[in-house]
Structure 1
Amino acid sequence: MDILLLKRIETNAIMAAVATALLINDKDNKKRPRSCWVNPFLKERSKKGRFSTHFENLKQSPSTFFENFHMSFALFQELCSKMEPSLAPKVFSRPDSIRPHEKLALVLEYLASGDNQSHIASSYRISKQRIGPIIESVCVELCKQLKHEMPAWTKELMLKSAEDFENIWCFPNCVGAIDGKHVSIKAPARSGCEFNSNKGNHSLVIMAVSDAKYRFTYLDIEAYGSESDINAFTHCKLGKAILLDQLNFPDDKPRNEVMLPYYLVADDAFPLSKRIMKPYTSKNLTRKELVFNNRLGRARRVVDRAFGILSLKWKAVHRTNLCHPDRTKNIITACCLLHNYVLRRSPMEYEVSQHKVLDSLPEEFIQFRDRVQDYPKYVRDNVKDFVNSFEGT
């Protein structure tokens, strides 16, 4: 019993000594003064930061400014004037606070270059903890201010788009081209296989529709990388509305004395329906079917080219995004709206060229088999006849 009592006393003494040491150490830490309240490197933002030095020089060179921000200085000022009220501090802040035009400049440079956030932060002399919330808040505000660049679908908008497709790409009754694109991301923690794509990375899927001038008219970023294009299409609002024929398309238009509906063009991954036109896929195609596939391919490739221009100009979409998926969605949406905005305001500087190719082949008609499930094939066959006819060429 005496031995047990001695051991217990010894243990209590050790615990008391450890507690006393920790208490003394804690008091020493509390008394220790801060080396600095603000990092000296960040203090010199107004004198040596990228905005105060490099940005002012870029204004003197329009071409170099466009290379860095992918918009002219006039467009930058216009965009800044729209966003300044919402980006300005709501209450009085420190005199060295980040100004609205600085926030917009660093976010545009991040979206255009796709560079590491820590590198952008050090260039502008902003703390690494602050740049993430700045990027998210500016992207959200960009989506609000530029939402008119992707207006809601109306009959007038569809008819205008169909007219552009017929005049530029010689494809009738087409209101847009639809396709999906994978944007590589860093997989979030405990996400499992949700974001795994068939390309061996983790991604989000953009389901988008483009008009004949490479502008996006619809955007959905809700699908994960594990889903195919057809799954992403059938689960998005547009896909459900098209498959159920609930979208308010324009009235059918006569072609070669046949009433044909308006539709979207797509590749083999999408289902053939009344509102989705896809190419013939059999091995032994006739000459007319080959001409139809060629003409449809030219019309469909506008969405691929739109994605290509988007990835070229706004590399935050092209490179692996290290942000959380929710923030990544805001970044992608902001990039697509900026793409439409700059393309509408400065198409020549944005370096987009349109090519018009014409074909001229004889016509031939194919009879319709009177069954409801064959109607999409009937529409496709009549479009094939039209593009092979004298009027269609």
Structure 2
Amino acid sequence: MVIRRRGRELAKKILYLRILTRRIKRRKELNKAPRIHKFWERKVLKERIEFGQYHTLFKTLIKNDREWFFRYLRMTPERFSHLLSAVEPYLKIRQDRGRTAISAEERLVITLRYLATGDSMASQTFNFRVGRATVSNIIREVCDSIWTALNKKYLRLPSSESEWMAIAEKFESDWNVPHAIGAVDGKHIAIECPKFGGSMYYNYKGFHSTVLMAICDASYSFVWTSIGSYGRDNDAAIFGASSFFKRADFGTLKLPPPSVVGGQQLPYVLLGDDIFPLKTWLIKPYGGNNLTDEEEVANYRTSRGRRTIENTFGVMAARWRIFRRPIRANIETVDQITKAVICLHNYLMQTDNAHYIPSGFVDSWSNGEFKEGEWRSVVQDDETGLQNIRRVGSNNYTATAKETRDRFRDYFNSQEGAVPWQYDVVHNCGPLAS
């Protein structure tokens, strides 16, 4: 009986293998057969030259309306032409069978419009009358080309003492903070759940994201970024594992040596929020509710310089609305998009900032009176795809780090370092001043 039973089981397995073999063979035969298309190209796509947005609206705006052209692509016609000349060598234009190749200029327009509006790729298909898959490929290729063409020149970490000192001098002249080499902050970039992403990108705020860490200078340009960390990762680990953190801790950033300012020996430091750990090279506000007037003044003064990074993110999100909602793309494309937008932001800040951030667009102070920038009315907290990160470090710090922050506190309250309005602001606003 046992032998018969085993024989039947073996016969079933052989039959199953024969059926499976026939199915595999059939699938191979079907795959070899030529695919029958309903049509080679949709009629609406054939009318791209007659009715596509590039051939109609773009051509009209670049010739006749500079103001609307800026609103259309976030840059002036001259700046667009210069950007095209920089990016075009990195674009590979392939001629399709029986169809006119899409020019480098049209590819750049499609990508910039996608980044500027935040509309879906499907919307660009209807607007420019280009196939959905083609739009996706164009955006990936152009974003990669923008990064390649611009990052080495417009997104570069200072590599000498003189370059760091130039940033520090700008912080001191514009924001009354000496020896500041930049302001640091991080954001969660909202994305749709990646395919097979599981919970890796699901963050503590309840949505899927990747993490963007960045440092900016006093003129709202990024000087360092870290892009693409998992949204669920511990934020302390993200910043602690970054190249900047390691180089700063090991003292290999080539920062200028500490010098005496207003009677205090001050090192060159990064300005951070309370989410970051206190270091000898990074100062953050004093915490707690029972702060002295001197500590409140120190919080207020450092916050003026620290707001540069908040404004930098705000301007970028206001100009490039791709961040106003979760980005619908695979994670590699999201990283390419983020890199391209950061490069575009720096490129326009450093070459055409009068148009890119006109007067009143960023936060400003006048004799201690704070005025919010116009970008805040464009970027609403409940709609932006850039969300603040949580605490990235504990409240533990070394005695040397505490001493560094206290030296800045003493300088801000000294006769040489005080500004006329600081005590009025602190007494009128209290903790809000920080």
Instruction: Report TM bin, short chain.
Output: 0.7 to 0.9
Say which of 292, 296, 317 aligns to 1:290: 296
What is the DSSP-based 3-state SS (H/G/I as helix, E as strand, rest coil) of the residue aligned with 1:183? strand
Q: Work out the CA distance in 1 between the residues paired with 2:41 and 2:287.
A: 65
Say which of 254, 262, 275 aligns to 1:248: 254
Q: 1:222·1:236 contact (CA, 8 Å) conserved in 2?
A: no
Say which of 416, 428, 433 aligns to 1:391: 416
Q: 2:93·2:102 contact (CA, 8 Å) conserved in 1?
A: no
Residue by residue over 1:118-171, the C-alpha shift from the partner in whole angstroms, topping out at 9 and shown as x without a partner, is 111221111001111111110011001111111232222211110011001101
The offset of 1:32, in angstroms, is: 10
Pair 1:358–1:245, CA change in 2 (3 A): farther
- In the other structure, the counterpart of 2:274 is 268
Q: Work out the CA distance in 1 between the residues paired with 2:254 and 2:97.
A: 50
Q: Work out the CA distance in 2 between the residues paired with 1:120 and 1:273.
A: 47
Bigger drift between 191-200 and 298-307 goes to: 191-200
Q: Work out the CA distance in 2 between the residues paired with 1:65 and 1:124.
A: 16
Task: Give me the identity figure in percent.
Answer: 31
Letter in 2 for 1:192: G
The reply to whether residue 152 of structure 1 matches residue 165 of structure 2 is no
- In the other structure, the counterpart of 1:120 is 124
What is the DSSP-based 3-state SS (H/G/I as helix, E as strand, rest coil) of the residue aligned with 1:220? strand
Q: 1:174·1:265 contact (CA, 8 Å) conserved in 2?
A: yes
The reply to whether residue 105 of structure 1 matches residue 105 of structure 2 is no
Q: Work out the CA distance in 2 between the residues paired with 1:184 and 1:215.
A: 22
Q: 1:266·1:277 contact (CA, 8 Å) conserved in 2?
A: yes
Q: Work out the CA distance in 2 between the residues paired with 1:130 and 1:75.
A: 26
Q: Work out the CA distance in 2 between the residues paired with 1:229 and 1:153.
A: 25
Letter in 2 for 1:49: G
- In the other structure, the counterpart of 1:311 is 317
Say which of 261, 266, 284 aligns to 1:278: 284
Pairing of 1:358-373 with structure 2 (within 5 A): 373=398
Pair 1:39–1:279, CA change in 2 (3 A): same
Bigger drift between 62-71 and 223-232 goes to: 223-232
Say which of 42, 60, 70 aligns to 1:66: 70
The reply to whether residue 376 of structure 1 matches residue 401 of structure 2 is yes
Pair 1:379–1:110, CA change in 2 (3 A): same
Q: 2:214·2:225 contact (CA, 8 Å) conserved in 1?
A: yes
- In the other structure, the counterpart of 1:338 is 344
Pair 1:283–1:61, CA change in 2 (3 A): same
What is the DSSP-based 3-state SS (H/G/I as helix, E as strand, rest coil) of the residue aligned with 2:321? coil
Q: Work out the CA distance in 1 between the residues paired with 2:347 and 2:234.
A: 29
The offset of 1:244, in angstroms, is: 3.2
- Asked which structure has the greater CA Rg, the reply is 1
The offset of 1:88, in angstroms, is: 4.7
Q: Work out the CA distance in 2 between the residues paired with 1:312 and 1:296.
A: 25
- In the other structure, the counterpart of 1:14 is none
Say which of 46, 51, 67 aligns to 2:49: 46
Residue by residue over 1:183-239, the C-alpha shift from the partner in whole angstroms, topping out at 9 and shown as x without a partner, is 101121222221112221100110000111111110111321113443321121112
- In the other structure, the counterpart of 1:355 is 364
Bigger drift between 102-111 and 349-358 goes to: 349-358
Q: Work out the CA distance in 2 between the residues paired with 1:290 and 1:261.
A: 21
The offset of 1:267, in angstroms, is: 0.8
- In the other structure, the counterpart of 2:380 is none
Q: Work out the CA distance in 2 between the residues paired with 1:166 and 1:81.
A: 36
Q: Work out the CA distance in 2 between the residues paired with 1:33 and 1:213.
A: 57
TM-score for both structures, normalised by structure 1:
0.85
Q: Work out the CA distance in 1 between the residues paired with 2:113 and 2:77.
A: 13
Pair 1:230–1:64, CA change in 2 (3 A): same
Q: Work out the CA distance in 1 between the residues paired with 2:324 and 2:36.
A: 46
Bigger drift between 122-131 and 102-111 goes to: 122-131
Letter in 2 for 1:301: R
Aligned length: 360
Letter in 2 for 1:188: P
Residue by residue over 1:68-126, the C-alpha shift from the partner in whole angstroms, topping out at 9 and shown as x without a partner, is 11000111111111222332526797551111000000000001111100111221111
Pairing of 1:133-148 with structure 2 (within 5 A): 133-147=137-151, 148=153
Which ranges of 4 or more aligned residues in structure 1 deviate by more than 3 Å? 30-35, 90-95, 356-359
Q: Work out the CA distance in 1 between the residues paired with 2:96 and 2:104.
A: 14
What is the DSSP-based 3-state SS (H/G/I as helix, E as strand, rest coil) of the residue aligned with 2:277? coil
Bigger drift between 115-124 and 79-88 goes to: 79-88
Q: 1:215·1:343 contact (CA, 8 Å) conserved in 2?
A: yes
Q: Work out the CA distance in 2 between the residues paired with 1:34 and 1:211.
A: 55
Structure 2: stretches of 5+ with no match in the other structure: 1-21, 369-396, 420-434
- In the other structure, the counterpart of 2:39 is 36
Q: Work out the CA distance in 1 between the residues paired with 2:141 and 2:322.
A: 16
Pair 1:228–1:317, CA change in 2 (3 A): farther
Structure 1: stretches of 5+ with no match in the other structure: 1-18, 360-371
Pair 1:91–1:373, CA change in 2 (3 A): same
Say which of 125, 134, 140 aligns to 1:130: 134
- In the other structure, the counterpart of 1:362 is none
Letter in 2 for 1:379: T
What is the DSSP-based 3-state SS (H/G/I as helix, E as strand, rest coil) of the residue aligned with 2:210? strand
- In the other structure, the counterpart of 1:84 is 88
TM-score for both structures, normalised by structure 2:
0.78
Q: Work out the CA distance in 1 between the residues paired with 2:51 and 2:309.
A: 42
Letter in 1 for 2:179: N
Pair 1:91–1:85, CA change in 2 (3 A): farther
Say which of 82, 96, 121 aligns to 2:100: 96
Letter in 1 for 2:249: L
